[in-house]
Amino acid sequence: MKTSRESRIEQNGARTALFAVRPTGKRALYFTKDAADKAVRAPTSAFTLIEVMAAIALFFMATFAILDLVSQSIRMAHSLNQMGPTAGMVAAELSLTNKLEEGTFTGDWGDLYDEYTWQQDVMIWGTNGMFQVDIGVFKKGNEDSRLSIFLFRPESENHMGDGAASRKAFSGSKK
């Protein structure tokens, strides 16, 4: 008696068939002449579980990368749509000057931005002509944006520490 691992080839005229016999005695596989020469088992063309999982992982990584880019683009577009002035606008105008004076200065944008005002505090930082400028923009008295910048203006009057209020570098306290 044949076991399940044994097989036999029967020739019947021009056709050849290969049969694998199971322990129950039933024939399990049938091949034509071409297939009998190649293998005992029929070849399957399917993906393995690892290949499917790798493809799904790659798909989701690409999808989430694209979603992240879209989210960043929407966030950046929203930030460009700011309706009021910023402290950077005051800093840009201040950076055009060659000389600075210590003190607190305020202003507004006239009819362009009716509800907004700005304030800048100019302080000497050290004794070499370095100034710290703290700029705040206010909408109806509430702070809307704040910025602190350093400007080097050696031509300014009070840069030699002649009794003016100055700050020691990186100390954060007034003298």
Quick one: pLDDT at residue 170? 33
The CATH number assigned to the domain with range 87-167 reads 3.30.1300
pTM metric for this prediction: 0.46
Report strand pairing: 130-139 vs 116-125.
antiparallel
pLDDT at 143 > cutoff 70: yes
Quote the distance between the C-alpha of residue 56 and its chain's center.
22
Checking if the pLDDT of 88 tops 80, the result is: yes
Tens digit of each residue's pLDDT (9 = 90 or more) over 41-79: 555 688 899 999 999 999 999 999 999 999 999 988 887
pLDDT for 11-52, tens place per residue?
454 445 555 555 565 655 555 555 545 555 555 688 899 999
Closest CA to 148 of 172, 113, 115, 116: 172
Ranges of each domain in the chain: 7-38, 46-81, 87-167
